[in-house]
Structure 1
């Protein structure tokens, strides 16, 4: 036996994916990969390879196969077939374990990757009529919304760790998730669970999200549509694409939407405008350049929810505690350039440059904290303060990756070598919080008067601080998937990251104007670096089953100082993962199981005043890397290919995240926001096969989605010791307590109909009208939406 490699190309030189390559007269064969390459084992001697695909002329290639050696077949360029088809409907048929997420940077098949990955394609988003990112996440086990602070964003987490902006990407570039991203522009959503530090530096240990937007196409097409729904919701949208003029070298795509609506919450409203243009330049047969833009203007009422009293939630869906003129205004724009060049059949270079601008102004009442007030006349009374902030950020990124395959003797290698650098320029202005009025949390209509000296409104607020940040990061990384045998592979890699975090804080003495020469300045300079290793082992007893075990390390920079006044080193987080990936029933069903354990064994915590080191400390609030938090759990992901019109997505996750070593919290106590259990199931059925001969009925489709979120805790973890004194924590008005959040089921149902170029879809969400909440601390308690309805009418251009 020997090995044959080669590449299949389209007529314009682009890679041809999923093209059948067979050894004539045998059952041996493979399909070409995403980059058009193929590799197959064949009997020694002269062999004829047959190359076939739908819509192209079959071709044959003769090659001499030498025993124990690898030979390269001549590249094959496909030619269009002469057969003309009246109508062809093409649907994606890749299974979960055949979709390689681009955010992984390497062309590794999921079965070869010792890490859990999930990709949700656009077809699923359209079937489920996804409106927000949270709708998409109901298809992924173990990734959940942990909060909705201010109602302006969806705080996402996985495996007990929050996804900050450092963990959210759009087209492979970090993306500020301080505002809800637009879903209508997505081609797919990729989830890389677990540590991704080797690829992207200081990202949280739970995983990363990558939002992949729609790309230009040379074939002309598009759609226009209108979505309407409960609470005055209206959303027109459009999507057009095609070649620029008659060009075969330049294609475009432009999609966008406008959205406005009220809310099931009293006094809450929103409107947003979104545009996503992109251009594709085919510079050479082997080199592409994609330019992508993104603009979002989002204005909405900030809404910190219904409040709590004595760490207890008094149920309500509508209670609104903000001022009538509160607003959160955001403008976000970005530009990305991606250059991809195939150096030869086995090596490729990819360079990315990105820029993002983020501007936000918040005018809002402060969050209603869970003040402990004894029952009586003043029960539930709350003094409402005003807050105001302005934030401007510029983000720059440059990244280059070299990927390819090679062999050292009988051992195969899939190699990634890369470097990246990015920079955040941040300018944050805050105003002095001031008393405005008083109201009762349980009855906001009760006028309780205004305290003496209360501010008259947002425009009368005085400046407090301006914070100038200029974070700079750089990293170098290398990774190799080593194929020791056909069924045994090792993935090994290492990254070195460097980070500078200079910060200047200007404090103003309550001025109406921010005169810099009248401010005091506090400077802080930090310089951190860390190594992030990764090691994984994959064993494939069959071609459709993969067993894996891996270790990865990530890091989190710290801002404190030790007792000697030295900058606190980054916290290093160890992650262990084992799992099984299966392709069942000839690839019709993918079923993956993953178990993990994540340990932050050197978490930053305060050195208590009762510690002898405190008395000799050179800083006022010394810290040490001695705490520990452990997250462990299991995840199950199941997806099917469409079969006889039926497609299925299901999942389950169990997680426990606890303090396992702490000097102020009880060991074994559970961290907030993380549900112990989540489960999801989505079933979609197309009647196209059942009514294949009935042009009127074959456009029918129906879907059903169920989503379960288990019990969680919010509030504030109970303290055993007071960090300011080192003595037992005193109960009373300042006691910290947890808030129990009820579990809930969400059931959604949808019905669709398509005829010719028209389609209409109906959706009813939260059929059982379940009530629960998303919490942040004890002061942002936001109810989930009640039963609601939406309908979408669209027309294909």
Structure 2
């Protein structure tokens, strides 16, 4: 009963008084910029030189900028104008209005290039870390990719953005309906993927056009988020409301019938200086390089910002995504050999994957005093999916027939495959609440940055699976070839009947504390502990086949509820020999609940969560006065109590569980190195580069060969992106100053699919499939003139062929050479 009250109690705390984080009270700077002719100047950058934050002037030349109380140095710059700096005295809780400022045209010096993000990799704290910690003080690798990079590279899907983060990769694209990600040998699921700090269901491809930035916190994040995989977490931050009016409309077109209009508008609600809004959305329709595959989707993302008091802000965000596409399990394989085709489609007619996802988030932030703040986040998500598809292309005839224990060739049977129809419906309600208290204080000579927090969430799931029915038989190489169909078959999805239903209501709660202790200016320690609690009740229902009247009987199995809890400690040491360099070492662990019908030991007791230990060491550098950031990290992750089957010889004859007992005795080890390099834009050039090496293997197993690599993880990845803005070199040249160009190259080393060989099975038929390495090369060209801009991109110029695979039955080729263009108009 007490546990069931955790979620509502946490939700109620979000309505307690609160205010935004700052060291001092804020004020507002207002002003207007004009040219020497008295005309208002639009899109001029106005920023606080110390804080680095700023805004652009609106169409009438006006601007409003929040600033901390005290003396502030205002930096004003724009293409073709002389840069100015002016001192402003900001009064807490009041608006300081400046006299009209006049900017002169710069006739002699090169025009300054406007930079959307002027902070380097090690100067941008990530909100996913939950604490206001400078990246150089964080004993963990973290990478942020901002909107400027996403726009330069014309990111359409998350997989397009992954090329900027070393060691983050696509593991598979099962059914062609989602992109499954991984890092350091561990898969990201819905537990590891967040939007604005709240988990979201990654069973559908998220919309990239709404993103302000993408944050990746590598390694263990269990102390902050509880039940997450060891590889890291991904947080997608959407665009936020602004009081300055603006926006854009755009249209993207591309190969394979891609058509994608977008809109983004923002500003104050009316003339209010307390309420601002933002609304962005898109519609997308496309065919595919895969035969018969189509997709269409609609996305809307509204948000509101309320300045409730000088100390309190509230952000309300919501989004809706409807995604329809053709499920596609790829080209298939015979005897673990990939079939030779990039376009061949093997699914049944009428296959459809339909998803509707709605989410809402409320974030309230309040400053209690100059040193303490409280932040609360409440979220709700609704996820509905209806999948109608054929079976995955597995068990395709290899051209032989067995009689009397002997194998005889039958060439005419080669490639024959019997298809069936399957349907699943899934509905999910997800509720979440977080409450964090953050403060700075000192005890003697030690400075503290303290985080105290609690969170709770609940998944309510309802999954209906229809009974699979035979449909037809085809030849995968020539679908026009006549193949005998099964005698009993259905003609369509409407003839399928319910087979089973599973109802779940997973409940989780956690309490955590973390403290950054500054022992000296050069030595810092980050330490913390989390306790997590999980309940996983599941009720299963089975349906009998319909009788002559079409009636079915429902039979419920006994409901089983698991109760798990785990501690997640973390400790890290940071040494900064100079202000622009930090050396760090850390230890942390995460946990994986062992759920499922077989997660019981020989005594029929549920297995405890598997605890995964992780050690990480690294160096972070800001070079050339912060113009270039270069970070190197090495890690080892060990799951020394992985779940595995108990060997039959080790099961006592009187054991209560004789059928499929499991034990925590296996071991998997992941080792690797990651390098991330980012530059600030300098002389018009910006660079992002990276490299990763990973080896994840069984190091202790009674099922698989020790030393054998786990599937889906590339041994090496490497990336390089270079972009150049010509205005840096050509200054006020009317034509060339709006021109930009760049390229991105991404290397994915060899990885494995198929199935690991079982050492416990004589003449085991399982085999691994080697997925070929590839290098993808993209190039882009952009041009901007006044409010208009145009970007063109040619992707996979070398027309490389490789695959994203899951086991041996979802063999999805990567996209061939393709073209896209995006035209936009700034409002």
The TM-score, its normalising length taken from structure 1, stands at: 0.91
| Contact 1:305–1:782 under 8 Å retained in 2 | yes
SS in structure 2 at match of 1:150: helix
Distance 1:139 1:196 in 2: 21
Deviation at 1:17, TM superposition (A): 8.8
Distance 1:427 1:371 in 2: 33
Q: Are 1:586 and 2:619 counterparts?
A: no
Q: Are 1:565 and 2:595 counterparts?
A: no
Match of 2:590 among 554, 565, 577: 554
Match of 2:768 among 725, 738, 743: 738
Deviation at 1:120, TM superposition (A): 0.2
Q: Are 1:596 and 2:635 counterparts?
A: yes
SS in structure 2 at match of 1:334: strand
Residues 651-662 of structure 1: matches in 2 within 5 Å?
651-662=690-701
Distance 1:91 1:328 in 2: 38
Distance 2:708 2:754 in 1: 13
The equivalent of 1:618 in structure 2 is 657
Of the structure 1 ranges 386-395 and 613-622, higher mean CA displacement relative to structure 2 is found in: 613-622
Unmatched segments (≥5 aa) in structure 1: 23-33, 39-48, 62-73, 723-728
Distance 1:101 1:311 in 2: 43
The equivalent of 1:781 in structure 2 is 811
Distance 1:569 1:478 in 2: 24
Distance 2:712 2:395 in 1: 17
In structure 2, do the counterparts of structure 1 residues 496 and 436 end up closer, same or farther at CA, with 3 Å as the change threshold? same
Residues 653-672 of structure 1: matches in 2 within 5 Å?
653-672=692-711
The equivalent of 2:736 in structure 1 is 697
Distance 1:60 1:487 in 2: 33
| Contact 1:263–1:269 under 8 Å retained in 2 | yes
In structure 2, do the counterparts of structure 1 residues 313 and 380 end up closer, same or farther at CA, with 3 Å as the change threshold? same
| Contact 2:259–2:286 under 8 Å retained in 1 | yes
Distance 1:86 1:443 in 2: 72
Of the structure 1 ranges 680-689 and 445-454, higher mean CA displacement relative to structure 2 is found in: 445-454
The equivalent of 2:178 in structure 1 is 153
SS in structure 2 at match of 1:558: coil
The equivalent of 2:154 in structure 1 is 129
SS in structure 2 at match of 1:298: strand
Distance 1:680 1:515 in 2: 58
The equivalent of 2:683 in structure 1 is 644
Distance 1:103 1:116 in 2: 12
The equivalent of 1:28 in structure 2 is none
Residues 411-450 of structure 1: matches in 2 within 5 Å?
411-450=446-485
Match of 2:338 among 294, 313, 321: 313
Residues 523-562 of structure 1: matches in 2 within 5 Å?
523-559=559-595, 560-562=599-601
The equivalent of 1:44 in structure 2 is none
Deviation at 1:371, TM superposition (A): 4.7
Distance 2:606 2:551 in 1: 31
Match of 2:505 among 452, 470, 474: 470
Unmatched segments (≥5 aa) in structure 2: 1-21, 31-45, 53-64, 77-84, 106-111, 401-408
Deviation at 1:569, TM superposition (A): 0.3
Distance 1:554 1:614 in 2: 35
Deviation at 1:275, TM superposition (A): 0.2
| Contact 1:506–1:522 under 8 Å retained in 2 | no
In structure 2, do the counterparts of structure 1 residues 437 and 615 end up closer, same or farther at CA, with 3 Å as the change threshold? farther
Distance 2:776 2:270 in 1: 47
Deviation at 1:454, TM superposition (A): 1.2
| Contact 1:593–1:636 under 8 Å retained in 2 | yes
In structure 2, do the counterparts of structure 1 residues 145 and 754 end up closer, same or farther at CA, with 3 Å as the change threshold? same
Match of 1:396 among 426, 431, 446: 431
| Contact 1:330–1:359 under 8 Å retained in 2 | yes
In structure 2, do the counterparts of structure 1 residues 389 and 666 end up closer, same or farther at CA, with 3 Å as the change threshold? same
Match of 2:360 among 310, 325, 335: 335
In structure 2, do the counterparts of structure 1 residues 606 and 261 end up closer, same or farther at CA, with 3 Å as the change threshold? same
CA deviations 1:413-434 (Å, max 9, x no partner) are 0000000000000000001112
Match of 1:360 among 379, 385, 389: 385
SS in structure 2 at match of 1:166: helix
Distance 2:297 2:665 in 1: 46
In structure 2, do the counterparts of structure 1 residues 667 and 36 end up closer, same or farther at CA, with 3 Å as the change threshold? farther
In structure 2, do the counterparts of structure 1 residues 17 and 688 end up closer, same or farther at CA, with 3 Å as the change threshold? closer
The equivalent of 2:130 in structure 1 is 105
The equivalent of 2:270 in structure 1 is 245
Deviation at 1:367, TM superposition (A): 0.5
SS in structure 1 at match of 2:224: helix
Match of 2:284 among 234, 256, 259: 259
The equivalent of 2:73 in structure 1 is 52
Deviation at 1:9, TM superposition (A): 2.9
Deviation at 1:6, TM superposition (A): 5.4
| Contact 2:179–2:205 under 8 Å retained in 1 | yes
The equivalent of 1:509 in structure 2 is 544
CA deviations 1:63-95 (Å, max 9, x no partner) are xxxxxxxxxxx9797845432447994521000
| Contact 2:47–2:74 under 8 Å retained in 1 | no
The TM-score, its normalising length taken from structure 2, stands at: 0.88
Distance 1:677 1:140 in 2: 13
CA deviations 1:217-243 (Å, max 9, x no partner) are 000000000000001110000000000
Of the structure 1 ranges 414-423 and 362-371, higher mean CA displacement relative to structure 2 is found in: 362-371
Residues 217-296 of structure 1: matches in 2 within 5 Å?
217-296=242-321
Match of 2:749 among 696, 703, 710: 710
Q: Are 1:11 and 2:28 counterparts?
A: yes
| Contact 1:561–1:619 under 8 Å retained in 2 | no
SS in structure 2 at match of 1:134: helix
In structure 2, do the counterparts of structure 1 residues 138 and 192 end up closer, same or farther at CA, with 3 Å as the change threshold? same
The equivalent of 2:204 in structure 1 is 179
SS in structure 2 at match of 1:568: coil
Distance 1:704 1:272 in 2: 28
Distance 1:142 1:640 in 2: 19
Distance 1:52 1:613 in 2: 77
Number of aligned residue pairs: give it: 749
| Contact 1:190–1:209 under 8 Å retained in 2 | yes
Distance 1:540 1:501 in 2: 44
Distance 1:59 1:447 in 2: 82
Deviation at 1:314, TM superposition (A): 2.2
CA deviations 1:574-596 (Å, max 9, x no partner) are 00000000000000000000000
Distance 1:672 1:11 in 2: 55
Distance 1:37 1:204 in 2: 39
| Contact 2:115–2:681 under 8 Å retained in 1 | no
SS in structure 2 at match of 1:182: coil
Distance 1:721 1:198 in 2: 37
Q: Are 1:144 and 2:161 counterparts?
A: no
The equivalent of 2:555 in structure 1 is 519
In structure 2, do the counterparts of structure 1 residues 583 and 786 end up closer, same or farther at CA, with 3 Å as the change threshold? same
Deviation at 1:50, TM superposition (A): 5.8
Distance 2:469 2:558 in 1: 24
Deviation at 1:53, TM superposition (A): 2.6
Of the structure 1 ranges 370-379 and 467-476, higher mean CA displacement relative to structure 2 is found in: 370-379
Deviation at 1:10, TM superposition (A): 3.6
Of the structure 1 ranges 51-60 and 376-385, higher mean CA displacement relative to structure 2 is found in: 51-60
| Contact 1:6–1:75 under 8 Å retained in 2 | no
SS in structure 1 at match of 2:611: strand
Deviation at 1:511, TM superposition (A): 3.6
| Contact 2:301–2:317 under 8 Å retained in 1 | yes
Match of 1:117 among 129, 134, 142: 142
Deviation at 1:689, TM superposition (A): 1.5
SS in structure 2 at match of 1:180: coil
